[in-house]
Structure formats: structure tokens, C-alpha cells
Amino acid sequence: MLMTPSRSLPAAALLFLLLPPAPAADLPRKAPDFTINLLDGKRLTLSQYKGHPVVLAFILTSCTHCQETVRILSKLQNEYGPKGLQVLASAIEQDAQNHVRLFIRNFAPAFPVGYNTGAEAGNLLPPTGKLPLMPLVGFIDRQGILRAQHEGEEPFFSNPERNLRKEIEALLQAKR
């Protein structure tokens, strides 16, 4: 089910392998103030969105599974954005900065897409196994608490639109 080109997965996987083991299942937990680099040189931080539920997706730009997730998240951003939702994405493959521009042009996401290293992503959303399975998606509530995370080949992605919608609606319904 994981669809990535052979050159992107090993680079991202290597970055994650260099991380110390972290308890991925330790939820809920406070999300650190993560920063995403944007193409225009600006940076987004999670703290900018305090008070808003956030969905953060780590992707590989050439992964068709990730591309489909971004397509669905764009639809859901348009639907739930007026209710306060903010979706963000960050490409984490080698040379991501150079791949993001074409990805944005080709997929026109309805939310900001930037880039980070795999190690930075792993500090926020540690993979559940030794290798990350992409995409890696985290759900952060209005208070900055990471409530859920899902990756790649989990059953969650067998019906991604339904399951993404379910997680987003839970974030939106949580008390302010």
C-alpha cells in the first residue's frame, strides 16, 4: 500500500533511524512548538494556530499515497476551515525544498505546504515502527495537545477520507 519511489523512502527512513526511540503511542501529549519552513523563506509555527485544531501531515512529494491524502485534506480544509480547522503539510524527503514548489503547482493544496527534515518530523510524530510509513498525520487540539497520529499502512488509511473526517470532527467538537 505504501507507494514511494525507491530513492525517497530510504532517505526519509534513514533520517528516522537516526532518531532515539520515542514512545509513539504516548497519547495524548503536548505538541512541541514545531516550525515548518516555507518556500518564500518564511516559517510557520504550531503556536501560530493555538486555539485552532490543526492537522499536520508529513509527506513525501512523490508518494502517491501522500498525494491522495493531501487531495483529501484540501477538500476537508475547504469544508472545515470556516469552523477553525487548519491543515498544514511538510515534505520530509531529501532535497524537499526543491520538490515542494512542483508539488504545490501540481496539487494546489488548500493549505500551507513546507518542508523539514525527517529527524524534525520524528521529534514531533515518532513513527510507530523503525521505519516511517508515509504519510504521517498528527491531530492537534485547540490547546496544543497531540490527540492522535496515524501513518502509512495503518487500517486508518483503508478509508482515508472517512477516517480523516472522523478525527477532524472530534477535534472540532472538543471543548474550547
Confidence of residue 130 (pLDDT cuts 50, 70, 90): low
Confidence of residue 141 (pLDDT cuts 50, 70, 90): very high
For the chain, strand residue ranges (E) read 29-30, 35-37, 43-45, 54-59, 86-91, 113-115, 136-140, 145-151
Question: In 3D, which of 89, 125, 94 has the Cα closest to residue 107?
Answer: 89
pLDDT at 144: 95
Q: How far, in Å, CA of 162 to CA of 176, rounded?
A: 24
pTM to 2 decimals?
A: 0.86
- List the CATH number of the domain containing 105: 3.40.30.10
Q: Is the pLDDT of residue 19 over 70?
A: no
Q: Which of 25-34, 73-82, 104-113 is the least confident region?
A: 25-34
Percent of the chain topping pLDDT 90: 75
Does 1 reside within a domain?
no
Does 3 reside within a domain?
no
Does 2 reside within a domain?
no
Q: Read off the pLDDT of each residue in 41-63 and give the average, rounded to a whole number.
A: 97
Which residues form the domain of 72?
8-21+28-173
Q: Which of 3-12, 17-26, 68-77, 138-147 is the least confident region?
A: 3-12
CA contacts within 13 A on the Cβ side of 131: 12
Element (H, E) at 11: helix 8-17
Question: What does the radius of gyration of the chain's CA atoms come to, in whole angstroms?
Answer: 15
The tally of domains found in the chain comes to 1
Confidence of residue 18 (pLDDT cuts 50, 70, 90): very low
